Structure 1
Amino acid sequence: MYLYTAQAMREADQRAVAMGYPSLLLMEAAGKQAASRLLQRFEGRAVDVLCGKGNNGGDGLVAARWLAHWGHPVRVYAAEGQTGDAAVARQALLAHGLEIAPLSAWEPAPHSVVLDALFGTGLRGPLEGFYAALVEKVNQSGLPVVAVDLPSGLPHRPHIQADLTVALAGLKNEHLFYPHRAACGRIVLESIGMPPRALHNPHLPEVLCKTSMRPLLPARPGNAHKGLVGRVLVAGGYRSYTGAPSLAALGAYRTGAGLVTVAYPADCVVNPPLEAVRLPLLEWNHADLQAVRAEAVAVGMGAAAGGVRAALAALELGKPTVLDADALHKQVLSAYVKAGLPTVLTPHPGEASRLLEIPSEQIARAPLEAAQALAERYPGLVVVLKGGPTVLAWQPQEAPLSPPLLAVNSSGNPSMATGGMGDVLSGVVAALLAAGLSAWEAARLGVYLHGLAGDLASKPGLLAHEVAEALPSAMRQLQLGGVRDFWEPC
């Protein structure tokens, strides 16, 4: 599944038409799906359909016709001047005997529902004048709103605040990225019959979902033992951050690692899981770490000033590595690029800001672009830019002229915004690396599982170790097919 921009979806529409698929069928399916979802959520209430001049308005006109056909009370308010498929939809509606009032005549009616089909993904700037006032009038009415594809006005202000958004054909950026996602309310994704080849576009970001993540789950053989299913070395810790390496170790164990060794400064009181091997060190050096048998390393969690030394010592092990927190320095990343090891780095926006030398606010506004910039600056390293949602990027060293691979996570929730969550994620990814997954596979599956565990454990006051404890349930549900992605109907 891909994440579409407005331009990418227009190109998909054009490919479908070029293949011989009539665009009018797409509009017919879109309107019918929107009407159906509205009735499922708000059956028994009259519907006011607000339609613009473009194809989104045409979807609304089709929806109004189906609502009337199903015997549902509906009032239609539309702009004048539809062309193409939207004009055909208007004529079909009139043929059914429905009246179309001008948009200026709309007034909120008690106990009704608004179907917002004013503007879709083609909006080129903020709404002004009459349409800006209409959007504000809808928002102030207090009526529930169902948006067709996108709440009108997004990604600008003012925009409709919807209770339900029926996404059509594919998810758009606004469906996943905040603050726009908050305007969509509940999101359901509906097929409109577009040929799969028309939607296929590997240059777009992948949306991490159960369908693509389930095949990546590592198999556990019947003759498994702790040395066969992946051994992880966690290197981190400082006097003020003794919990960080412990949480990473817990995340690794709960993701299936057979053995976890925690290396930390000897002057720290670190309490890793009882099952972990402890390795207190007087200093970070390659010789001491070399004695640990491990297939993957997670380094930097809570290491403070020792993060660079720990990461450079771990580099000499030649193992797949997760670099987090205090290991995220330019010197370290450049050394790992030169070494060519499978490596995953997991910065939050503040750490990415330091690496890219741009304000963290700019990264928060454009996380995909920031992750891509990091991947291009450090080719071969998989970038996991943590946030809501987390985004991933990877520029393979063997393909420097190709655009980086991009992915956006769909699992997780705001209750995970607490200390230690990133440490658990580092352990999860390290365990998957130790199990034999590539860096790109381990990062994508690890991020999705981490968010899914957060969804299963979600509650006010959620703690990082509780997410770690939910990881086995997340893996089991994904394996058994019991996961429901957020855009699927209830």
Structure 2
Amino acid sequence: MRAETILSLAALRRLEQDAADRGLDLMGRAARATADWVAARLAPPARVLVAAGPGNNGGDALQAALLLHHRGYQVDILLPAAPTSAATTAALQALLAAGLQPVPRLAEEHPRPELVIDGLFGIGLARDFDAPWQDTIRQLNALAVPILALDTPSGLDPYRGTAANVAIRASHTLTFLSHKPGLYMAAGADLAGNVELATLDCPAELFPPAEGELNQPLPLLSPRAKDSHKGSFGSVLVIGGERGMLGAALLAGRAAYAGGAGKVHLATLDDRLAVDTAAPELMIQALQPSTTLPAADAVAIGPGLGQSSAARHWLGRLIGSTQPLLLDADALNLLAGDSPLQQALSQRQAPPVLTPHPAEAARLLACSTPDVQRDRLAAARELAQRRQAVVVLKGAGSLIVRPDGYYRVNTSGGPALAVAGQGDVLSGLIAALLAQGLSAFDAAALGVHLHGLAGDAYTREAQGPIGLSASATVPLLSHLINQVLSTPHR
């Protein structure tokens, strides 16, 4: 099993059962992984507060508490409710035999720990908390010390990324057996902190097929030969730029060059732009009904497109073409209200790339934005299947989904990219990768990954995420794509 693998919840439960049938003590292995994680960061006799719930997640925590006690740590144990599983009951009995006494609640004068281990609730929680559990979780968060969550922060749905009415805000999460997408997206991106995987030395042959993976794409582009010319790296056509929105098309065109395209054409609905003085290499032409579009290896339509009849005309023409195609922004909004266009898009021989933000995805699915955000993965999968497209559902933990439902969840990027124009930059970058011969899924995944890395690089340099404009992101891309593609991959 590769470290990036994501199993569905059903597959994960099947793996746990198969491991138990083989006699593997996964709870004991999770406890050792937890104790080893603590030992690598804190030396005994540091004080550790272990918060254990009634289920198997609590059993992991209780067994870890005993191991830490034997290793010389000062261990306090919070057990707000009696165990409900046999394994957790056995773990509690072992603690009591060792002289450790859990408490049902924390006293006001409780000694301040250096670390909290959250083992209250695991991946099976599907409800809000009642008042006593709310108080416990808020009290733990209020300690303002590092928190290590076991498998998932209590209160976070690790597959949807949604939180209950209250949730642990972890600084670190040690997740078991396989990654879970909700630790990286939506609320999970803030609640899970730094995520690490412990596979618990489970034999590879027990792992079921993956449903997805973390988006850590290989260097998919070949090294460039010295005997190259501009035609060696593909040409991109960007269509958009209605009056008042030319900037969006310019950003996409500039990003296509930064992403390695050999030539970039810009066809705009506003006929007043003769040249981009910041990037005069962009070949710009105005769109008229009789315009013959330049030949291109990939087309991106949507940045600044508007929703006029002319915009709809050009979208229909491009959907009927055979080139690799990316739809963004107003191309998606036009598509959402036009059944013939939707039907034509679904019948393309090669899957197009759609790059909606949640509101655009909601229009395409005829639902609300909160509906999309409640289950981002389900929404992205439904859209990919309906339109037979590769879908990039943007946001914290952007999802890249194939028509068959397999997906990648992105782990790069952050709030530095939450400014106008970044979607246009991403569209141009993905189009450049399509023009260089990558498949729709790989081009989308690599483009999202690189775009996120640009935000991360700015955040490190600026010591914070504020102030990165879309135009300033473009020059970062070339450096990053060269860096990533030149890094040897095992």
- Specify if TM > 0.5: yes
Q: Which residue of 1 aligns with 2:207?
A: 199
The answer for the alignment partner of 1:260 in structure 2 is 264
Q: CA deviation at 1:175?
A: 0.6
Cα contact 2:112–2:143 (8 A) shared by 1: no
Structural mapping, 1:302-451, within 5 Å: 302-304=304-306, 305=308, 306-315=310-319, 317-328=321-332, 329-330=334-335, 331=338, 332-379=341-388, 381-395=389-403, 403-451=404-452
Q: CA contact under 8 A between 1:310 and 1:327: conserved in structure 2?
A: no
Which aligned pairs between 1:134-213 and structure 2 lie closer than 5 A?
134-155=136-157, 156-202=164-210, 204-209=211-216, 213=217
Q: Is the 8 A contact 1:161 1:183 kept in 2?
A: yes
Report the Cα offset of residue 77 of structure 1: 3.5
Find the aligned partners of 2:111 and 2:49 in 1 and give their Cα distance: 8
Question: C-alpha distance in 1, partners of 2:360/2:289?
Answer: 22
2:303 aligns with: 301
| Cα distance between partner residues in 1 of 2:409 and 2:268 | 33
Residue 479 (structure 1) shift: 3.0
Q: Is the 8 A contact 2:34 2:64 kept in 1?
A: yes
What is the aligned residue count? Answer: 464
- Distance in 2 (CA, whole Å) between partners of 1:35 and 1:481 is 34
Q: Calculate the TM-score normalised by the size of structure 1.
A: 0.86
Contact 2:239 2:268 in 1 (8 A): yes
User: Do the aligned partners of residues 222 and 362 (structure 1) sit closer, same or farther apart at CA in structure 2, a change above 3 Å counting?
Assistant: same
Matched, 1:10 2:17: no
| Cα distance between partner residues in 2 of 1:82 and 1:100 | 18
Partner residue, 2:31: 31
**Could you say if the C-alpha distance between residues 353 and 54 of structure 1 is closer, same or farther in structure 2, counting changes exceeding 3 Å?**
closer
Q: Which runs of 5+ in 1 are unaligned?
A: 396-402, 484-490
Deviations 1:383-427 (A, max 9, x none): 2222222223232xxxxxxx5333322221111011111111111
Aligned to 2:471: 465
Tell me how far apart the structure 1 counterparts of residues 487 and 96 of structure 2 sit (CA, whole Å): 45
**Are residues 2 and 157 of structure 1, via their aligned partners in 2, closer, same or farther at CA, if it must alter by over 3 Å?**
farther
Q: 1:140 to 1:271 in 2, by over 3 A?
A: same
The aligned counterpart of 1:100 is 101
Q: Aligned to 1:30, what secondary structure does the other structure show?
A: helix
AA aligned to 2:212 is P
% identity of equivalent residues: 35
Helix, strand or coil for the counterpart of 2:195? strand
Q: TM-score, normalised by structure 2?
A: 0.86
**How far did residue 368 of structure 1 move?**
1.5
Residue 284 of structure 2 corresponds to which residue in structure 1?
279
Instruction: Show CA shifts across 1:290-326 (max 9, x none).
Output: xx23211111210112432222333455211111112
Q: CA 1:378–1:174 in structure 2 vs 1: closer, same or farther (change >3 Å)?
A: closer
- Name the CA distance, whole Å, in 2 between partners of 1:276 and 1:311: 25
Q: Match of 2:284, as an amino acid? A: L
Give unmatched runs, 5+ long, in structure 2. 158-163, 460-464
Q: 1:92 and 1:476 mapped to 2: Cα distance?
A: 55
CA RMSD for the aligned pairs? 2.6
**Which deviates more, 53-62 or 8-17?**
8-17
Alignment partner, residue 220 of structure 1: 224
Structure 2 CA distance for partners of 1:94 and 1:186, relative to 1, 3 Å: same
Any conservation in 1 of the 2:346–2:386 contact (CA below 8 Å)?
no
1:109-149 Cα distance to aligned partner (Å, 9 max, x none) = 23543222121112242222543332232223334322212
Measure the CA separation in 2 of the matches of 1:65 and 1:249.
59
**How far did 1:40 drift?**
4.1
Moved more, 68-77 or 263-272: 263-272
SS state at 1:100 partner: coil
CA distance in structure 2 between the aligned counterparts of 1:350 and 1:411, rounded to whole angstroms: 22
CA shift in 2, pair 1:179/1:81, >3 Å: closer
The whole-number CA distance in structure 2 between the counterparts of 1:452 and 1:347 is 20
Report the secondary structure of 2:438's partner residue. coil
